[in-house]
Amino acid sequence: MFICDCHCDTLTELYKKNADLYGNEQHFDIKRQIALGGGLQFCAIFVPTPEFRYYGGLRYTLQLLDKYLQECKKLRAAGVDVLQVRTKADAADVLNHRAATLLAIEEGGAIDGSLEALRCLYELGVRAMTLTWSNRNDIADGVNEASSGGGLTVFGRKVVAEMNKLGMLVDVSHIAPAGFWDVIEASSKPIIATHSNAKGLCPHPRNLDDKQILAINANDGLIGVTFAGQFLEEDYHNACIESVYRHIDYMLNLMGNDDHVGFGSDFDGISHPPYNINGVQDYKPLVDFLSAKYSDATIAKITHQNVLNLLQKVL
């Protein structure tokens, strides 16, 4: 079993608690990832709003980025085989390593309105960015501002163009609908919704409606189905492994293929996980459940191949 997971907020918790990436008491750690059979984990730097919605986010971002780099250095020193994915060649080599990570940012306020900062963060290893969290920033409006009808700003369009040029994944989770459609129009490369579910099953503002799901399919992008209970079920107490399956199955049937869906757990960023998913170790019962529903080829696509294929198209 090899799992590519497009979103977790573990770095924030490790930074706050001075804890280790290899082994900890959070939802995710490298030790459990390896025990499962390996995987690629997108590790997001979450920049809180409204504190850093416009300016001040870059310093906080660098603090968490330093935590990530120091943890990677400790893993290397301990002889733990964890690949840092930065290039297409790295993505092609992922399955030859015990585990891998990809550095991401959640909330475009991290760049403090600066394309120069974006380019510097790329040089430091960042390969994906969620354009906005649920509030407004200088790139676009988030879902909490959807009533404004605001989409990408002029600066936001420059950010998307620069991310395309650099080879960074443009993440539309959290963005308001108008901004979503602006990104679809503006991006020259496939996009990703790292942690979003189907609004047709659960009408949460953070979920994607059918037209958005089909647009990502047509864009050759990817949706990471998330484990946030309130995005899975209207009553999050009912969220479970079967709920995750229902959202995956809904998207596969709507798209008419199995090429554009993966996982985006949001481990360590969710307050209401499914009652039978309590951490990375529970990918095993989840995949066991899915294996009874789909072919081995489809399971391989959902668990890792779709994400690795997307990285080849974008990085």
- What pLDDT shows up at residue 55? 75
- What pLDDT shows up at residue 121? 98
Alpha helices (runs of H) in 187-305, residue ranges in sequence order: 210-218, 229-232, 241-255, 283-291, 296-300
| The amino acid at 155 | F
Rg (CA), the chain: 18
Determine the Cα–Cα distance for residues 51 and 127; give it in Å rounded to an integer.
Answer: 24
Homologous superfamily assigned to 3-314: Metal-dependent hydrolases (3.20.20.140)
Contact between 73 and 84 (Cβ < 8 Å): no
Residue 243 token pair: 């709920």
- pLDDT tens per residue across span 13-22: 999 999 999 9
Counted residue by residue, the chain has a size of 315
Backbone phi, psi, residue 311, to 5°: -60, -35
- What pLDDT shows up at residue 52? 73
- What pLDDT shows up at residue 53? 66
Backbone phi, psi, residue 296, to 5°: -60, -35
Contact between 251 and 213 (Cβ < 8 Å): yes
> Strands, DSSP E only, in the chain?
3-8, 39-46, 82-84, 99-106, 126-130, 169-171, 192-193, 222-225, 261-263
Determine the Cα–Cα distance for residues 162 and 155; give it in Å rounded to an integer.
Answer: 10
- pLDDT one digit per residue (tens) for the chain, 315 residues: 999 999 999 999 999 999 999 999 999 999 999 999 999 999 999 998 777 766 789 999 999 999 999 999 999 999 999 999 999 999 999 999 999 999 999 999 999 999 999 999 999 999 999 999 999 999 999 999 999 999 999 999 999 999 999 999 999 999 999 999 999 999 999 999 999 999 999 999 999 999 999 999 999 999 999 999 999 999 999 999 999 999 999 999 999 999 999 999 999 999 999 999 999 999 999 999 999 999 999 999 999 999 999 999 999
Determine the Cα–Cα distance for residues 283 and 86; give it in Å rounded to an integer.
Answer: 25
- What pLDDT shows up at residue 215? 98
What's the predicted TM-score (pTM) here? 0.97
* CA-CA-CA-CA torsion sign (223, 229, 230, 233): positive
Q: Which residues contact 175 (CB under 8 A, 6 or more apart)?
A: 130, 131, 132, 140, 141, 142, 143, 183
DSSP letter at 267? B
Question: Tokens 């960023």, residue?
Answer: 269
Contact between 194 and 104 (Cβ < 8 Å): yes
> Over pLDDT 90: what percentage of the chain?
97
- What pLDDT shows up at residue 48? 86
| Ramachandran category for residue 279: left, alpha or beta (phi over 0 → left; psi -120 to 50 → alpha) | left
Residue 102 token pair: 């990809």
Report which secondary-structure segment, H or E, holds 303.
Answer: none
Residue 223 token pair: 């949706």
- What pLDDT shows up at residue 167? 98
| The amino acid at 104 | A
- What pLDDT shows up at residue 181? 98
Residue 139 token pair: 């790139």
CA dihedral 309, 310, 312, 315 (to 10 degrees): -160
